[in-house]
Amino acid sequence: MADKTLVTWHEHRVQRARGCVVWFTGLSGSGKSTLANHIDFQLNEMKAPSFLLDGDNVRHGLNASPELLEPDYGSPFAERFGLSFAADDRSENIRRIGCVADLFCSAGLITLTAFVSPYRKDRQLVRDTVLRSGGEGDFVEVFVDTPLEICESRDPKGLYQKARAGEITGFTGIDDPYEPPEHPEVHLSSGSESVEESAGQVIEYLKNLGKLG
């Protein structure tokens, strides 16, 4: 049995004003990334420090799949550390992103994350992580509540079509569940609201929270 890893938390001398984590969740094609990008642009125009963590982008690097890691690191490494879309790997994907988002939040950034993040337990664990190192108001869950039929009609990446054809399995909303938030801080109806209207609700919430001047 390997020796227990011994690590010690070191307090920082520099105390920074915390930002917050704005966690967009919803089905693939719900408009999470489009909305988060729009808000990120608005925050930049307002000179508010922000950063966007996008689900697909993160899986090109930090949470890369085994097939992306294998050419540079070899098969054993890739199989151990690469992430697929299986349930356990999805949970690890969200855990890693939650830790990164909390670090960015600690640096004073309004950290926007756009991930399907289908399981309530995983989202709750991220919330717990952020609130444990900060406080109330540091985690804002935004439910982009777009009906499956609208998401499927958009199908920007052709994933629903492949899932329906059986070419991919474990796809959220088709043969894998999506557990919607029960008490999100912001509940958006992307199927009936414009991007500008939805973005306005999130910006207004952040203002009321005191995260924006």
Active site residue ranges: 117
Torsion of CA 120, 121, 126, 132, to 10 degrees: 120
Q: In what order do the strands lie in the sheet with 110-114?
A: 50-54, 110-114, 20-25, 139-144, 186-188
The encoded tokens of residue 33 equal: 């990334």
Q: What is the DSSP string of 40-86?
A: HHHHHHTT--EEEEEHHHHTTTTT--HHHHHHHH-HHHHHHH---SS
Residues 6+ apart with CB under 8 A from 155: 29, 161
The encoded tokens of residue 6 equal: 């011994």
Sign of CA pseudo-dihedral 50, 55, 60, 65: positive
- Cα 138 to Cα 110: distance, rounded to the nearest angstrom: 9
- Cα 142 to Cα 205: distance, rounded to the nearest angstrom: 10
